[in-house]
Structure 1
């Protein structure tokens, strides 16, 4: 066996030799010195003990002048077998005292390596030197000690060397076997069926490794054989796959008609949802075809086998889990001499394509949000219902339903909440309608209900009332509690129209009539409503133009009076539309148009700018200290540029921000508390004041109200109007004023129309009064004159 410098054998033996050498050197030098120093230390300790006793006796006799006793004292110490000499030198005695065992000089004894110790003795408590004492201590025992050490050391090294040689021999033999095993493994050829490795038949670890290597080799041979067989299968399947790829790059299969052998690609197994390798016969393969398609497909395959032709078929498969999928199979029949017939085909899973087609068809006829019928499907069903009604000479009704204030929900809570509400409403309506009725969503919050069997107006009214009662009330949408009402318009066939479009248009007109009647109501179409929609469209176009040029939008002002001293403290800005032909149009008639057409933000900004501009004019004329209150709609409140626009207007017209006050309704403030608080704080940072309008008509929570950065509460006119005669209203107003003052808010009473109102509100401590008693809303050009001529009493 060759041993190289890099072999494990050389490294192991070399490491054993080096470690042994290091250990011996360590014992020889470091351990020897440690033992020697330890022995010397013990000798010194013994000498020091003798010296302490001897010095005490010498010092005592010298101080007592007992010089003749010194030699007597010292001689007994020579009895100690290791003390060789003691010498005392002192100025108090004539000559040194010297006692010894061997007649040798101190220098001679030191040269013989005996231990020598010379120390001075001082008078106790002083630095006066009494004598110098020299003591020679024998080193014979040290020499004997070290001789014994070397004897034991040599013996230990010899035994250690023998053990190392024996251990090296054992390692060499073991590593030699490993080397033989390694050489055998290097020469082993796994593809040679007769090849084996050297077998080392021992009971030690080397033998175990050898046996494990033999087992590994057997498994390796078995694995290689299995791999060969698997490669053959893979080659066969690759041939099938290549043929399928040339056709359609999908799952392929081949059927030997004569031998009835069916071969499937992996993709076909996946399509069928069957584990790869499962035995599938031709009959079981055909059994997957759904019953509705089975006969048609079998006929096509039989015809193809008979004529040796191609085929291209679409059909459904029913899988083992009862799921249905759709596939398309293209193939051809090959006939060869000798009667060999093979069907080679590819099968493609087209389930997604079919479902996508169904989805497209559904999108074409159903609303994507609610799943209700859309306009297209509604038109189709209306046409069929109208044809049936004409034949049977019966009636039908169209119900046009619109949710009240739905835009406010979208603007304040977001479109996601609005969408959830629409889905919720759709489910409620579906539950309460008949199976023969059709519920459709046209878009937004507009729903149409087709009632194919309605005998009279009274039947339509009953159904409309039922629908409204169903929707009216509280609805839990996520974490929000929403109160919903609806406006419904109805049109009946044949009284109100002969076609679907005409009936829908007239029902829409009736719905607008219901909204104009105060919402949360229903209305049946009449011819007097015929021009309403056209009028609304014209009004929308006119308002768009009015907002664009700003000239037709004017601001009227209704003054506020300080209750205590009855002087004008400010005014509320109220928008008016001065139409070129219709004259003054009040907000109730055009604000909803502005909201529905997206003009509300522009309209609101016009009012804000004109109001702040008016403040500048009043300040210049000396009417300073007045505060103008401006109403904010829900849409304005959600406008991200509101804060910057207000700040820009205040800076442009150089007015004190404290003179500007913004009013938001109590209902708006409570719709989304966190968002309201954020916007109010940002608005407050510009320096303006904040007021809650129509207080008492909403559902305020005092725990939230006290967090709002507001300055005042405006008591709604509905409480003030009957305050004189209605004890409940009086108590409510008094409670609002007391609560507001306790929270640090000022109060403004709206709807003050009589002297009795003024006196009672003063008595309650209300801060400001607003109403017809003092002034109706005044045009901008008349405001200054009114203020200059205002008289506090009438």
Structure 2
């Protein structure tokens, strides 16, 4: 263990005790921390223990002489920092040279001039202290440079060799001072794309005597690429210009910048460009097309039924499906179809395709030869995306709706082209999905109309006095009394007058407003049903329609339960009418929900029966109470034997299953009589009454 002693320590090493005494007396009292060793071995042990500042070392000793002892001490930790003065009677040049070769700081010959010894020792200690401080500062600088990944270098223009710090060597993937560095062999390890720039910059600095501030990449022998920031200035040393520089390893910063750029411009799930990136590239493509008088096409791709996957299998499955869909889009498009803009800056493949967000993708096609090729691309995409997916071990299906707009026919800016392609895509959605549609200006006008209606509908819902419920009576075919009512929505528009559901319900569904409207209608209908249950002797039900979106909403059960509780309406007086498509969309969830509603006590009816799937299987499994025969069959029931046969079959089916039936759209007495003969329980239509307002009930 090293002993710590205050003040400077001198170690005297000599096998002659008299010499040691004389040396101690010569140094005393100016030196107080003096230790002695009588052999080289003992000297090494004491050095390890005390770490002296100076050693007076005799050359001629038994066993281990001074040369061997000096060499051994220099090899020890901290051995380089001690001053060693070798003392000997030998005065031949080769002996002196040997002393310095093994690491001696100074050399003294015997006989020693004792009065001068103390001064000599103080001079050597002072010089050694300065050397220690310089070495310490150098080590601190080297450590700081290593931590900061910063190195320094110097180049005398008259010398080929660069004087570099250890950190510069480490940056270049070499051991410090491994070999001499020249500008020529430095250029050899610079990235090929940066060599010309660096050469031109240094040449310009030599000519103009001005420094520079640049970045370039280095190729290490292990294949690693690092980025260096090189900043220089020029100074003069005795009239000679010298280029001084610092090298900073900024690879980590560059990587961070690249990651920030990636997150700003790319979708992390699919590795496709995001909306911001795509809009920039779209603007560039339009500029190129304008300059070359070319056309381009923008395809807006939206996955159909994606929400169903997310809701049933979870978001992880949804992410997996999105990645698979993105890969299919990438592989489906031929290279000749792809956008090839700004390729020199493209760091990722397939930069022509983008994910705008959610389940929306875009594709840009440039330099079109004909519009037919765009249709071919769209159809190939639709076919590929319609193939089965295996997500989390389960086989599932989706499809795609594709809207297409063209530059310059459908717009001359990126925003307009994207808006029009989006409009065309929604037209596909409205027409059954799984197809493509070219944009038309009539379509745009229709969209503007829908957006206006949606805004006005939101305002009507907020105001609360424009939406109305009208009630159409349902008649018992056996005794002719009113037994129930169907609640039907009306909108008392401030400028367009009274609007039927045909004018706005579809917009309410696509915008999601149907949830709030449906909740309001359910509560209003239950309030009215509560009043009717008191005043009408034969009143048995209030029928309320649930849209597919409303039925599949997570809160529908709570909405029904809340409406019944707030109005104190007996549950059996409420009949919920559901379309076949709403329950077929997700059979398993539908069964659970219908059974919960049935336990609540409400009645359940299938609206427009016969126009949808008409599956006997769901009639067997679902707790249905009533089948409503659609008006399209009732219209032709008198004159068309097929319509009559269908109506008769539905009535008989319901009787066999223990269900009741109601026929919609009864307008003539002949229809009434025929349906009564068939055994239909309830009748509804203009023959009996149009839908009427609540104050006329």
TM-score range, shorter chain: 0.5 to 0.7
Aligned to 1:192: 46
Shift of 1:658: 3.0
- In structure 1, what is the Cα distance between the partners aligned to 2:551 and 2:74? 78
Shift of 1:378: 1.7
> Alignment partner for residue 250 of structure 1, among 130, 145, 148?
148
Shift of 1:575: 2.8
Asked if 2 retains the 8 angstrom alpha-carbon contact of 1:411 and 1:634, the reply is no
Asked if 1 retains the 8 angstrom alpha-carbon contact of 2:190 and 2:219, the reply is yes
Asked if 2 retains the 8 angstrom alpha-carbon contact of 1:328 and 1:350, the reply is no
Aligned to 2:457: 543
Aligned to 2:544: 630
- After the TM superposition, which residues 469-548 of structure 1 pair with which residues of structure 2 at under 5 Å, given as runs? 469-472=383-386, 474-478=388-392, 483-492=397-406, 507=421, 510-511=424-425, 514=428, 517=431, 519-520=433-434, 522-526=436-440, 528-529=442-443, 531-548=445-462
Change in 2 beyond 3 A, CA 1:336/1:504: closer
Question: Number of matched residues?
Answer: 554
Aligned to 1:375: 279
Change in 2 beyond 3 A, CA 1:614/1:415: farther
Aligned to 2:492: 578
Change in 2 beyond 3 A, CA 1:253/1:556: same
Q: Does 1:282 align with 2:199?
A: no
Shift of 1:771: 6.1
Cα deviation code 1:163-215 (max 9, x no counterpart) = xxxxxxxxxxxxxxxxxxxxxxxxx99943799xxxxxxxxxxxxxxxxxxxx
- In structure 1, what is the Cα distance between the partners aligned to 2:482 and 2:394? 42
Aligned to 2:229: 328
Change in 2 beyond 3 A, CA 1:508/1:192: closer
TM-score (norm 1): 0.54
Aligned to 2:18: none
Change in 2 beyond 3 A, CA 1:315/1:454: closer
Asked if 2 retains the 8 angstrom alpha-carbon contact of 1:397 and 1:450, the reply is yes
> Alignment partner for residue 387 of structure 1, among 291, 295, 315?
291
Cα deviation code 1:651-702 (max 9, x no counterpart) = 3222112323445555555666776677667656655455666788569997
Q: Does 1:264 align with 2:118?
A: no
Asked if 1 retains the 8 angstrom alpha-carbon contact of 2:337 and 2:366, the reply is yes
Asked if 2 retains the 8 angstrom alpha-carbon contact of 1:305 and 1:333, the reply is no
TM-score (norm 2): 0.60
Q: Does 1:779 align with 2:692?
A: yes
- In structure 2, what is the Cα distance between the partners aligned to 1:581 and 1:411? 40
Shift of 1:590: 2.6
Shift of 1:553: 2.0
Asked if 1 retains the 8 angstrom alpha-carbon contact of 2:629 and 2:650, the reply is no
- In structure 2, what is the Cα distance between the partners aligned to 1:244 and 1:729? 95
Asked if 2 retains the 8 angstrom alpha-carbon contact of 1:262 and 1:281, the reply is no
Shift of 1:622: 3.0
Aligned to 1:552: 466
SS in 1 for 2:642: coil
Change in 2 beyond 3 A, CA 1:582/1:773: closer
Asked if 2 retains the 8 angstrom alpha-carbon contact of 1:487 and 1:519, the reply is yes
Q: Does 1:607 align with 2:521?
A: yes
Shift of 1:618: 0.8
Change in 2 beyond 3 A, CA 1:670/1:515: closer
Q: State the structure with more CA Rg.
A: 1
Shift of 1:240: 5.0
Change in 2 beyond 3 A, CA 1:402/1:240: same
Cα deviation code 1:737-791 (max 9, x no counterpart) = 59x95xxx846577686569847975xxx9x66765987872343884xxxxxxx
- In structure 2, what is the Cα distance between the partners aligned to 1:364 and 1:405? 27
- In structure 2, what is the Cα distance between the partners aligned to 1:779 and 1:479? 54
Aligned to 2:257: 356
SS in 1 for 2:190: coil
Shift of 1:615: 0.9
Shift of 1:425: 4.2
- In structure 2, what is the Cα distance between the partners aligned to 1:670 and 1:235? 86
Shift of 1:536: 2.2
Cα deviation code 1:409-433 (max 9, x no counterpart) = 6677776666655554444444444
Shift of 1:303: 7.5
- After the TM superposition, which residues 635-714 of structure 1 pair with which residues of structure 2 at under 5 Å, given as runs? 636=550, 642-663=556-577, 668-669=582-583, 687-689=601-603, 697=612, 706=621, 710-712=623-625, 714=627
- In structure 1, what is the Cα distance between the partners aligned to 2:78 and 2:477? 105
Shift of 1:608: 1.1
Cα deviation code 1:275-301 (max 9, x no counterpart) = x88957637776542122234435656
Asked if 2 retains the 8 angstrom alpha-carbon contact of 1:412 and 1:671, the reply is no
Structure 2 residues without counterparts, runs of 5 or longer: 1-41, 50-71, 83-131, 340-352
- After the TM superposition, which residues 411-422 of structure 1 pair with which residues of structure 2 at under 5 Å, given as runs? none
Shift of 1:547: 1.3
Asked if 2 retains the 8 angstrom alpha-carbon contact of 1:555 and 1:607, the reply is yes
- In structure 1, what is the Cα distance between the partners aligned to 2:482 and 2:201? 96
- After the TM superposition, which residues 109-508 of structure 1 pair with which residues of structure 2 at under 5 Å, given as runs? 191-192=45-46, 227-228=77-78, 239=137, 242-243=140-141, 250-254=148-152, 263-265=165-167, 269=170, 279=178, 282=181, 287-297=188-198, 300=201, 311-330=212-231, 345-353=246-254, 356-357=257-258, 359-360=260-261, 363-364=264-265, 371-372=272-273, 374-389=278-293, 396-402=296-302, 423-434=323-334, 435-438=336-339, 439=353, 449-454=363-368, 464-472=378-386, 474-478=388-392, 483-492=397-406, 507=421
Root-mean-square deviation over aligned CA pairs: 5.7
